[in-house]
């Protein structure tokens, strides 16, 4: 025993290291800045040819031109309207169908089968049909975005409903709550976290589909701007449009983050 | 885009195979035919290329010409700018001028030309709009107009027609629909009031009662529709190849004119000795799925005017560039003189 | 309220869970259901409260319900079943909102049951902020808010640690003694049964049948931890179910 006490003491090595990535907002912004700087250096030195990729300065100028000419706001307003209407239509329909599938046996199997069959169809491939069904005006654009949003929303909603703890529903029944009360006070809030995280996906899909939606008959809109810039080889304007889309995505994501905080404060 | 990648891979493989055979074979078969790759569309507008290929004009000039077919005009110019293809013909658009202004392309000759006396693009209105009283080109102001893309040749044509006919382009509701089939569909169903389209589409539509032709572009703007172009690298480094190519192309144009543009003393299109021969050649590439009796009239309908020797209407091209610049579709620093090269084919005399 | 269980049998697919259960629960009586796992005691509780349709037999209720009773047969759950997105007061309010109560009445009931369960200071807390014991107090408060005729308690202390269990056991015992509540109390813990029940129903397993009904005639408020009389009852109960418990312990799990 005494030998043990007098022996050399080795500190125990800490072994639980790593596997715990932490967020660092400065690094996030820094990565953007570094990328843009490298890109500008590449353009300035001629390593990146103007034909292949416009320089950040050229993109900035194109963006500035869009802002001062007021064109950007016209495009943005047109796109925002399409995004909002299309997303709301797709989301309302998706939530409704998702709840039906989540709650009723008669809707379950047919609904899941149809959604699984239709979800993977690229909505862009259906564009000619949308034109026949909805014309070349705004409705076909709403439909393109709406359909894109609808399917993931359905899937998210019913898996959200599935994930609501059964014991809570049984509890509601044991207190003789009405079906409507159970849906509104137990199932809806219980499915809300899943539904909200689905909103992040569906809003990104809506932005992705904006370009497709604005392929047909759109004179204004960020998607139309990008398309026409592409057709005209105005690559600086094209990238400027892409930057605007990206900023739009970031703003939507921020807004949804706020919504999360507000609605899910109980978590 | 995929097709060009696949082609690149395939060509790489072929190049390796070629190197392998060369190294084993006796070196120095000096007069091997110069390989060229021509980017083209299966349209009547590319007919001189098909004629030159089929009648051996390229081979006569020592060129081993390979035709690569694209489904849209845009990738043709991109393929040449990137060096995937050597020669092409395409309609002039804002996008083409922007790409050319970046220095990778040279316009060296002419493709189609809108010319009084020959069929050209027609101004069509939907039945619905026609019945509602839109019967004259002058009334187009305030109506909707289908076009493929903003800054396309359709856009230029309606802009010029508007100027000449005295209505305001800005008052028109332009509907970019990406592709010609979409434009036709939208016009047929009355979702747009008007459009401009090539004669071989316009005439059948009007004959079938699906739309009304209310005017012709050539009556407002005689206009160089498209051009023959190659890469700047070819002009600088393979000048002899370009010269040989141009000669073969001009022979093709001469055959095209003799067969498809022959007129009688009244200026009416007539059949010439070579018409059937040339139609057969073109039919191999255009409307190949249709039987001759259906395809030949379509080809004739689509056979627009091409200037003698494929001379380029340089003055008009400059005018076009200016229009696109004025409307913000082509950058201000684009200078037609830097991308038009008349050293192979002299320009069309100014009228 | 009197509950009469007559000829109740229940089958899950092939497995016979309960057979021919006859039992009457008198008003003001606390009945504990004990037995090893798999004896069907929770199934029986579900049938009593109308949450499960028995394969055979029926449960009938008779007699008056307390004044202001909104939900005669009211459960208290092992896992509390609290809505995480509602506060303590909100969780209690939930079961009152479907009834025609004025706002004032509702608020009064909430205040009353919060006071009874010592939760007044926690009314605005969310479940995640509460300990297990506090959560079950909310479960009790919620059940009391509807003024039940019979409390159906499904292993209410099983999810709690030993110290909390002792505290809550005392509170339950005080509550039952004070209110003269009728209750059916399912547990596998003999100590809980002998502390709280007037009658302890021991169930035999596979299929679940009543093995014996053991009566404890000591008034509930006079039973204490360590009381030899109570310990004797617990030992007797253990004798009763030991063989069943051993058999249950050695059995391989049938399903998950």
Per-residue model confidence (pLDDT) at position B148: 87
B173 and B129 both lie in a single domain? yes
- Distance (Å) of CA A226 to CA A72, A248, B130, B150, C166: 12, 14, 34, 11, 70
Neighbouring residues of B136: CB distance < 8 A, sequence distance ≥ 6: B214, B215
CB contact under 8 A, B94 and A232: yes
Q: Which residue has the higher pLDDT, A4 or B66?
A: B66
Model pLDDT for residues C162-181, shown as the tens digit of each residue: 888 888 888 888 888 888 88
pLDDT band, very low/low/confident/very high, at B4 (cuts 50, 70, 90) = very low
Q: What's the mean pLDDT in B218-232? A: 89
Model pLDDT for residues B250-273, shown as the tens digit of each residue: 999 999 999 988 888 877 888 888
B207 is a domain residue: yes
Quote the CA–CA distance of C41 and C130 in Å, as a whole number: 29
- Measure the CA angle with vertex C230, ends C229 and C233; round to 5°: 95
Quote the CA–CA distance of B42 and C3 in Å, as a whole number: 88
User: With 0-12 CB in 10 A as exposed, 13-18 as middle and 19+ as buried, what is A116?
Assistant: exposed
**Set of chain B residues whose Cβ sits within 8 Å of the Cβ of A217:** 175-177, 186
B111 and B229 both lie in a single domain? yes
Q: Which segment, B160-169, B216-225, C56-65, C230-239, is predicted with the most confidence on average?
A: B160-169
B106 and B232 both lie in a single domain? yes
Nearest to A161 by CA among A92, A115, A90, A104: A104
* B48 in contact with chain A, both atoms CB, cutoff 8 A: no
User: At A157, is the secondary structure helix, strand, or coil?
Assistant: helix
> Token pair of A154, please?
């359905």
B231 and B209 both lie in a single domain? no
Alpha carbon dihedral A131, A133, A139, A140, in 10-degree steps, equals -30
Quote the CA–CA distance of A134 and C206 in Å, as a whole number: 64
* A110 in contact with chain B, both atoms CB, cutoff 8 A: no
Quote the CA–CA distance of A146 and A206 in Å, as a whole number: 8
B253 and B307 both lie in a single domain? yes
Interface test with C, best of A164, A175, A263, A267 (most C CBs within 10 A): A175
**Set of chain A residues whose Cβ sits within 8 Å of the Cβ of C94:** 172, 175, 177, 185
- The CATH number of whichever domain residue B126 belongs to comes to 3.40.190.10
**Set of chain B residues whose Cβ sits within 8 Å of the Cβ of A227:** 149, 176, 178
B187 is a domain residue: yes
Whether C23 shows a pLDDT value over 90: the answer reads no
B85 and B126 both lie in a single domain? no
DSSP strands (E only) in chain B: 34-41, 63-70, 87-91, 105-110, 113-114, 122-126, 144-147, 173-176, 194-197, 211-216, 223-224, 226-231
Per-residue model confidence (pLDDT) at position B223: 87
Does the domain at C66-147 match CATH 3.40.50.300? Answer given as yes
* B105 in contact with chain A, both atoms CB, cutoff 8 A: no
Quote the CA–CA distance of C84 and A160 in Å, as a whole number: 15
Interface test with A, best of B98, B152, B176 (most A CBs within 10 A): B176
B351 is a domain residue: no
Per-residue model confidence (pLDDT) at position A73: 93
Whether B22 shows a pLDDT value over 50: the answer reads no
pLDDT band, very low/low/confident/very high, at B350 (cuts 50, 70, 90) = low
- Measure the CA angle with vertex A71, ends A67 and A73; round to 5°: 75
Whether C205 shows a pLDDT value over 90: the answer reads no
B306 is a domain residue: yes
Whether B30 shows a pLDDT value over 60: the answer reads no
Return the bridge partners of B227, or none. Answer: B90, B110
Q: What's the mean pLDDT in B155-163? A: 92
Per-residue model confidence (pLDDT) at position B321: 94
- Distance (Å) of CA C34 to CA A44, C209, C216: 83, 11, 14
**DSSP code for C81:** -
Quote the CA–CA distance of C32 and C50 in Å, as a whole number: 18
CB atoms within 10 A of CB B237: 10
CB contact under 8 A, B150 and A219: yes
CB contact under 8 A, C51 and A177: no
- Distance (Å) of CA B227 to CA A121, B80, B99, B103: 40, 13, 14, 16
B13 is a domain residue: no
pLDDT band, very low/low/confident/very high, at B200 (cuts 50, 70, 90) = confident
Q: Do chains C and B touch (3 or more CB pairs under 8 A)?
A: no
CB contact under 8 A, A227 and B176: yes
**Percentage, residues of chain B above pLDDT 70:** 90
> Which of 123-142 (A) contact B at CB < 8 A?
128, 131-132, 135-137
Per-residue model confidence (pLDDT) at position B194: 94
Locate the domains of chain C by residue range.
Answer: 1-64+149-157+181-250, 66-147
B229 is a domain residue: yes
B20 is a domain residue: no
**Set of chain A residues whose Cβ sits within 8 Å of the Cβ of B182:** 128, 131, 136, 216
Per-residue model confidence (pLDDT) at position B168: 92
**Percentage, residues of chain A above pLDDT 70:** 98
Q: Into how many domains does chain B fold?
A: 2
Residue of A135, A217, A232 with shortest CB distance to B151: A232
Q: In chain A, which stretches have pLDDT less than 50?
A: none
pTM of the complete model: 0.77
Return the bridge partners of C202, or none. Answer: C34, C212
Nearest to A258 by CA among A202, A194, A200, A204: A200
Q: Are A83 and A207 in contact (CB under 8 A)?
A: yes
B144 and B250 both lie in a single domain? no
Per-residue model confidence (pLDDT) at position A126: 78
- The pLDDT mean for chain B works out to 85
Instruction: Calculate how close chain A gets to C105, using CA atoms only, in Å.
Output: 18
Quote the CA–CA distance of C55 and C75 in Å, as a whole number: 22
Domains and their CATH numbers in chain A: 52-260 (1.10.3720.10)
Give the gyration radius of chain A's Cα atoms: 26
User: At C59, is the secondary structure helix, strand, or coil?
Assistant: strand
Q: Are C85 and A186 in contact (CB under 8 A)?
A: no
Asked which of B166, B198, B217 is the last residue of a domain, the reply is: B217
B334 and B228 both lie in a single domain? yes
> Token pair of A210, please?
């904006």
Whether B209 shows a pLDDT value over 80: the answer reads yes
Residue of A51, A224, A231 with shortest CB distance to B95: A231
Quote the CA–CA distance of C59 and B250 in Å, as a whole number: 102
Per-residue model confidence (pLDDT) at position C253: 58
**Set of chain A residues whose Cβ sits within 8 Å of the Cβ of C73:** 174
- Measure the CA angle with vertex B51, ends B46 and B56; round to 5°: 135
B278 and B328 both lie in a single domain? yes
Model pLDDT for residues A148-198, shown as the tens digit of each residue: 999 999 999 999 998 888 889 999 888 888 888 898 899 999 999 999 989
B314 is a domain residue: yes
Strand order in the sheet with B34-41: B63-70, B34-41, B87-91, B226-231, B105-110
Q: Minimal Cα distance from A263: which residue of C?
A: C85
Classify domain C1-64+149-157+181-250 at the CATH class level.
alpha beta
Asked which of B217, B236, B268 is the last residue of a domain, the reply is: B217
- Distance (Å) of CA A23 to CA A29, A138, B109: 12, 41, 60
Cβ contacts below 8 Å, chain A against chain B, sum to 69
Per-residue model confidence (pLDDT) at position B57: 93
Return the bridge partners of C185, or none. Answer: C32, C153
Q: Which domain holds residue B178?
A: 122-217
B107 and B245 both lie in a single domain? yes
ipTM value for the complex: 0.86
B98 and B150 both lie in a single domain? no
Asked which of B217, B239, B254 is the last residue of a domain, the reply is: B217
> Token pair of C235, please?
């030992």
Quote the CA–CA distance of A138 and A141 in Å, as a whole number: 5
């Amino acid at each position: 025993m005494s030998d043990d006490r007098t022996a050399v003491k080795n500190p125990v090595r800490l072994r639980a290291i790593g596997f715990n990535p932490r967020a660092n907002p400065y690094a996030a912004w820094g990565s953007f800045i570094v990328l843009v700087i490298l890109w500008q250096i590449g353009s300035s030195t001629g390593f990146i040819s103007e034909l292949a990729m416009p320089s950040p300065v050229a993109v900035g100028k194109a963006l500035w031109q869009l802002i001062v000419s007021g064109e950007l706001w016209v495009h943005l307003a047109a796109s925002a309207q399409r995004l909002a209407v299309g997303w709301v239509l797709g989301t309302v329909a998706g939530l409704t169908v998702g709840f039906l599938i989540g709650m009723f046996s008669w809707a379950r199997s047919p609904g899941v089968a149809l959604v699984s069959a239709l979800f993977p169809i690229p909505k862009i491939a259906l564009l000619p049909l949308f034109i026949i069904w909805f014309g070349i005006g705004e409705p076909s654009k709403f439909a393109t975005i709406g359909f894109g949003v609808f399917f993931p929303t359905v899937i998210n909603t019913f898996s959200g409903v599935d994930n609501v703890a059964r014991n809570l529903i049984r509890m509601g029944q044991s207190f003789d709550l009405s079906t409507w009360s159970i849906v509104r006070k137990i199932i809806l809030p219980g499915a809300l976290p899943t539904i909200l995280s689905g909103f992040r996906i569906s809003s990104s899909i809506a932005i992705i589909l904006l370009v497709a939606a604005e392929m047909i008959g759109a004179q204004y809109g960020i998607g139309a701007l990008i398309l026409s810039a592409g057709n005209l080889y105005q690559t600086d304007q094209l990238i400027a449009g892409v930057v605007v889309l990206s900023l739009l995505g970031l703003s939507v994501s921020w807004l949804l983050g706020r919504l999360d905080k507000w609605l899910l404060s109980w978590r | 885009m995929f097709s060009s990648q696949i082609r690149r891979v395939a060509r790489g493989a072929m190049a390796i195979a070629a190197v392998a055979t060369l190294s084993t074979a006796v070196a120095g078969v000096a007069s091997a035919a110069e390989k060229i790759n021509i980017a083209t569309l299966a349209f009547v507008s590319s007919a001189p290329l098909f004629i030159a290929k089929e009648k051996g004009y390229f081979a006569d000039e020592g060129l081993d010409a390979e035709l690569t077919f694209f489904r849209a005009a845009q990738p043709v110019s991109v393929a040449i700018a990137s060096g995937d293809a050597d020669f092409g013909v395409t309609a002039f658009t804002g996008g083409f001028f922007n790409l050319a202004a970046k220095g990778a392309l040279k316009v060296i000759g002419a493709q189609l030309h809108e010319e009084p006396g020959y069929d050209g693009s027609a101004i069509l209105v939907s039945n619905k709009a026609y019945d509602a009283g839109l019967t004259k080109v002058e009334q187009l102001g305030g109506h909707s107009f289908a076009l493929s893309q903003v800054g396309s040749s359709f856009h230029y044509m309606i802009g010029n027609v508007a100027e000449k006919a005295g209505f305001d382009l800005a008052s028109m509701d332009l509907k970019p629909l990406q592709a010609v089939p979409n434009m036709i569909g939208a016009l047929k169903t009355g979702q747009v009031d008007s459009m401009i389209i090539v004669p071989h589409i316009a005439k059948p539509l009007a004959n079938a009662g699906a739309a009304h032709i209310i005017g012709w572009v050539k009556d407002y703007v005689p206009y160089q529709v498209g051009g023959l172009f190659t890469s700047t690298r070819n002009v600088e480094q393979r000048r002899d190849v370009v010269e040989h190519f141009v000669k073969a192309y001009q022979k093709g144009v001469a055959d095209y004119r003799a067969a498809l543009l022959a007129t009688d003393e009244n200026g009416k299109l007539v059949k010439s000795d070579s018409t059937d021969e040339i139609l057969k050649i073109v039919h191999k590439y255009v409307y190949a799925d249709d039987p001759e009796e259906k395809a030949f009239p379509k080809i004739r309908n689509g056979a627009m005017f091409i200037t003698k020797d494929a001379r380029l209407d340089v003055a008009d091209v400059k005018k076009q560039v200016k229009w696109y610049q004025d409307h913000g579709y082509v950058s201000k620093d684009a200078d037609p003189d830097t991308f038009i090269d008349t050293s192979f084919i002299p320009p069309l005399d100014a009228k | 309220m009197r509950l009469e269980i007559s000829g109740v049998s229940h089958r899950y697919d092939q497995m016979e869970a309960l057979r021919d259960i006859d039992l009457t629960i008198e008003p003001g009586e606390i009945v504990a259901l004990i037995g090893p796992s798999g004896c069907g005691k929770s199934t029986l509780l579900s049938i009593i409260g109308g949450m499960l349709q028995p394969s055979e037999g029926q449960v009938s209720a008779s007699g008056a319900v307390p004044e202001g009773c909104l939900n005669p047969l009211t459960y208290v759950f092992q896992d509390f079943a609290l809505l995480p997105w509602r506060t303590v007061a909100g969780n209690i309010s939930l079961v009152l909102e479907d009834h025609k109560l004025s706002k004032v009445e509702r608020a009064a009931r909430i205040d009353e049951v919060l006071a009874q369960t010592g939760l007044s200071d926690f009314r605005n807390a969310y479940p995640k902020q509460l300990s297990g014991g506090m959560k079950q107090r909310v479960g009790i408060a919620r059940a009391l808010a509807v003024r039940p005729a019979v409390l159906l308690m499904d292993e209410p202390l099983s999810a709690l640690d030993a110290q909390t269990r002792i505290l809550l056991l005392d509170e339950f015992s005080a509550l039952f003694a004070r209110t003269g509540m009728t209750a059916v109390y399912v547990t596998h813990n003999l100590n809980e049964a002998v502390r709280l029940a007037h009658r302890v129903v021991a169930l035999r397993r596979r299929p679940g049948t009543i093995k014996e009904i053991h009566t404890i005639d000591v008034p509930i408020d006079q039973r204490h931890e360590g009381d030899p009389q109570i310990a004797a009852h617990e030992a007797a109960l253990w004798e009763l179910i030991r063989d069943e418990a051993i058999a249950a312990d050695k059995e391989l799990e049938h399903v998950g």
